[in-house]
Amino acid sequence: MRLLLHTAALTVLTATALAQDESTGFAGTAAGKAPRVEIAWNRLYDVDEIYAHLDRLVAAYPERLRMHPTVGHSVQNRDLRVYVLNNPETGLDTEKPAMWIDGNVHGNEVQGAEAVLYTAWYLLENYGTNERVTELVDRAAFYLLPMQNPDGRANWFAGAHTASSSRSGYQPVDSDRDGVPDEDGPDDLDGDGHITSMRKRIPGEGTHRLDPDDPRVLVRVPADTKGARGDWVMLGREGIDNDGDGRINEDGPGGYDMNRAWPSMWQPGHVQFGAGPYPLYWPETRFIAGFILDHPNIAAVQSFHNAGGMILRGPGAASFGSYPRADVRVYDEIGRTGEKMLPFYRYMILWKDLYTVFGGFVTWTYEGLGIISFTNEMWSRRRQFPDANTPAPDDRHFFDDHLLMGDGFIDWKPFDHPRYGPIEIGGFKKDVGRVPPSFLIEEETHRNALFCLVHAEAMPEVVIENVVVGEGSGGVRTIDVEFRNLRAIPTRSARTAEQKIGTPDRFSIEGVEVLAGGFRTDRFRPEAIELAEREPERLLSENGVGGRGVVRVRWFVRGRGEATIRFEGEKASNVSREVTVR
Contact residues: Zn ion, CB under 5 A: 106, 109, 305
Nearer to another protein, 197 or 285 (CB): 285
Coil, strand or helix: which one is 111?
helix
The residue from 170, 266, 412, 555 that contacts another protein (CB under 8 A) is: 266
270 is a site residue for another protein (CB under 8 A)? yes
The residue from 228, 293, 468, 531 that contacts another protein (CB under 8 A) is: 293
The residue from 119, 162, 264, 363 that contacts another protein (CB under 8 A) is: 264
Coil, strand or helix: which one is 191?
coil
Nearer to another protein, 119 or 541 (CB): 541
Nearer to another protein, 358 or 451 (CB): 358
**47 vs 153: CA distance, rounded Å:** 7
**125 vs 137: CA distance, rounded Å:** 11
Residue-level length of the chain: 582
With a CB cutoff of 8 Å and minimum separation 6, the contacts of 152 are: 104, 106, 107, 108, 166, 167, 168, 169, 170, 254
Coil, strand or helix: which one is 451?
helix
What part of residues 2-61 is at the interface with another protein (CB under 8 A)? none
Nearer to Zn ion, 56 or 106 (CB): 106
What part of residues 518-577 is at the interface with another protein (CB under 8 A)? 533-535, 538, 540, 542
Name which of Zn ion, another protein, none residue 391 binds, using a CB cut-off of 5 to 8 Å depending on partner kind: none
**514 vs 99: CA distance, rounded Å:** 37
Q: How many CB atoms lie within 10 A of CB 238?
A: 26
Name which of Zn ion, another protein, none residue 109 binds, using a CB cut-off of 5 to 8 Å depending on partner kind: Zn ion
319 is a site residue for another protein (CB under 8 A)? yes
Nearer to another protein, 104 or 264 (CB): 264
Q: How far is the CB of 423 from another protein (least distance, A)?
A: 24
Q: How far is the CB of 282 from Zn ion (least distance, A)?
A: 15
Radius of gyration of the chain (CA): 28
Nearer to another protein, 46 or 367 (CB): 367
What part of residues 240-259 is at the interface with another protein (CB under 8 A)? 244-246
The residue from 88, 215, 236, 268 that contacts another protein (CB under 8 A) is: 268
Nearer to another protein, 407 or 542 (CB): 542
Q: Pick from 350, 386, 377, 392: which is nearest to 435 by CA?
A: 377
Name which of Zn ion, another protein, none residue 504 binds, using a CB cut-off of 5 to 8 Å depending on partner kind: another protein
269 is a site residue for another protein (CB under 8 A)? yes
Alpha helices in 182-318 (DSSP H): 283-293
**198 vs 210: CA distance, rounded Å:** 14
Q: How many CA atoms lie within 13 A of 357 on its CB side?
A: 26
Task: Show the site string, 69-108: x = touches another protein by CB under 8 A, - = not.
Answer: ----------------------------------------
Name which of another protein, Zn ion, none residue 239 binds, using a CB cut-off of 5 to 8 Å depending on partner kind: none
* Calculated CA dihedral for residues 236, 239, 244, 247, nearest 10 degrees: -10
Name which of Zn ion, another protein, none residue 293 binds, using a CB cut-off of 5 to 8 Å depending on partner kind: another protein
**374 vs 430: CA distance, rounded Å:** 26
154 is a site residue for another protein (CB under 8 A)? no
Q: How far is the CB of 367 from another protein (least distance, A)?
A: 8
Q: How many CA atoms lie within 13 A of 294 on its CB side?
A: 11
**192 vs 160: CA distance, rounded Å:** 8
Q: How many CB atoms lie within 10 A of CB 35?
A: 18
Q: How many CB atoms lie within 10 A of CB 180?
A: 14
279 is a site residue for another protein (CB under 8 A)? yes
**520 vs 533: CA distance, rounded Å:** 14
278 is a site residue for another protein (CB under 8 A)? yes
Q: How far is the CB of 142 from Zn ion (least distance, A)?
A: 22
The residue from 94, 503, 564, 576 that contacts another protein (CB under 8 A) is: 503
Q: How many CB atoms lie within 10 A of CB 438?
A: 15
Q: How far is the CB of 303 from Zn ion (least distance, A)?
A: 9
Strands 409-417 and 372-378: unpaired
**396 vs 158: CA distance, rounded Å:** 25
What part of residues 463-502 is at the interface with another protein (CB under 8 A)? 499-501
* Calculated CA dihedral for residues 389, 393, 399, 403, nearest 10 degrees: 40
| Residues within the interface to another protein (CB under 8 A) | 177-179, 244-246, 263-264, 266-272, 277-281, 289, 293, 317-319, 356, 358, 367-368, 499-501, 503-504, 506, 533-535, 538, 540, 542
